[in-house]
């Protein structure tokens, strides 16, 4: 599938999720190319009169939302988000567990997801897998200090642990000033919930991109239409 076709599916899924937004809601704004279509659709609905405020999951999304005229807020004003719309890198059929963070925003995304009554996930069909770890590595956000030691500690769980680099070859720096280690597994994961727990216990780890039991619902666009998984 080419990029244009995939983008059309991402847009369809995003637009379906935006239908869940109601007047007066506090809305978490996700990060990535699919979430960006949701922000675009939300901006359109805002211009049509829907009242809501957005809490962005990254500086990138904040800039997009601001430029599109969406009113933004923060946790200083609202502790509880009604609905967050975000993308994912893999969605496990059946459990709806997720891998997120290939866009580098996993920490803020998890904070926003945790503060949300509902987390609507928007993906194209390629991201739907039988078991997590089929295509995507698990990104792990770590503090910069002791990166090599944390990398070695994560190697106990993963086949390969690679520091994320920018296209220029520098270490990728998250919005929180941390680094990312991408954990590649030899095959699909047997027990992602246990793995999330074990990764979190490694000193130096801030958060992992495993999102367990959080998605509600998932919108998947696959060319046959948009399917809602609850
Ligand atoms: C960013 C994310 C993104 O939601 C995820 O990487 C999917 O991105 P895209 O919609 O561009 O495929 O978790 O941290």
In this predicted structure, what is the pLDDT of residue 135?
A: 93
In this predicted structure, what is the pLDDT of residue 1?
A: 80
> 24-39 burial, b if ≥16 CB within 10 A, otherwise e?
ebbbbbbbbebbbbbb
Query: Is residue 28 in contact with ligand 1, taking CB distance under 6 Å?
Result: no
Has 100 been labeled as part of a binding site?
Answer: yes
To test ligand 1's pocket by mutation, which of 17, 35, 140 has the most ligand atoms within 8 angstroms of CB?
35
Query: Is residue 215 in contact with ligand 1, taking CB distance under 6 Å?
Result: no
SS3 69: coil
Within 8 A by CB and 6+ apart from 118, the residues are 20, 82, 83, 84, 216, 217
In this predicted structure, what is the pLDDT of residue 3?
A: 87
SS3 198: helix
In this predicted structure, what is the pLDDT of residue 82?
A: 98
ipTM: 0.98
Has 103 been labeled as part of a binding site?
Answer: yes
In this predicted structure, what is the pLDDT of residue 18?
A: 98
Which residues are marked as active site?
A: 109
Query: Is residue 58 in contact with ligand 1, taking CB distance under 6 Å?
Result: no
**Angle at Cα 144 formed by Cα 142 and Cα 147, nearest 5°?**
75
104 CA to centre of ligand 1 in angstroms: 8
32 CA to centre of ligand 1 in angstroms: 4
51 CA to centre of ligand 1 in angstroms: 26
Q: Would you mind telling me the total number of residues written for the chain in this entry?
A: 230
Tens of pLDDT along the chain (230 residues) come to 888 899 999 999 999 999 999 999 999 999 999 999 999 999 999 999 999 999 999 999 999 999 999 999 999 999 999 999 999 999 999 999 999 999 999 999 999 999 999 999 999 999 999 999 999 999 999 999 999 999 999 999 999 999 999 999 999 999 999 999 999 998 899 999 999 999 999 999 999 999 999 999 999 999 999 999 99
Q: For 116-215, where are the alpha helices, taking DSSP H only? A: 147-154, 192-200
In this predicted structure, what is the pLDDT of residue 124?
A: 97
Q: How far apart are CA 20 and CA 229, in angstroms?
A: 14
Q: For residue 96, is the peptide bond before it cis, meaning its omega torsion is within 30 degrees of 0?
A: no
């Amino acid at each position: 599938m080419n990029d244009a076709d995939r983008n059309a599916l991402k847009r369809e899924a995003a637009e379906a999720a935006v239908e869940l937004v109601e007047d007066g809601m506090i809305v978490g704004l996700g990060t990535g190319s699919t979430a960006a279509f949701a922000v675009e659709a939300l901006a359109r609905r805002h211009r049509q009169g829907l009242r809501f405020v957005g809490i962005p999951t990254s500086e990138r999304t904040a800039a997009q939302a601001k430029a599109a005229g969406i009113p933004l807020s923060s946790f200083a004003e609202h502790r509880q988000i009604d609905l967050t719309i975000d993308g994912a890198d893999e969605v496990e059929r059946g459990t709806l567990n997720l891998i997120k963070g290939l866009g580098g925003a996993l920490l803020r995304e998890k904070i926003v997801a945790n503060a949300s009554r509902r987390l609507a996930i928007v993906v194209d069909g390629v991201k739907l897998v039988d078991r997590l770890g089929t295509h995507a590595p698990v990104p792990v956000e770590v503090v910069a200090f002791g990166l090599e030691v944390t990398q070695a500690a994560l190697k106990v769980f993963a086949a390969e642990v690679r520091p994320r680099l920018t296209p220029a070859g520098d270490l990728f720096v998250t919005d929180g000033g941390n680094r990312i280690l991408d954990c590649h597994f030899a095959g699909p994961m047997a027990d992602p919930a246990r793995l999330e727990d074990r990764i979190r216990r490694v000193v130096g780890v801030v958060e992992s991109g495993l999102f367990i039991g959080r998605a509600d619902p998932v919108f998947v666009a696959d060319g046959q239409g948009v399917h809602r998984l609850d």
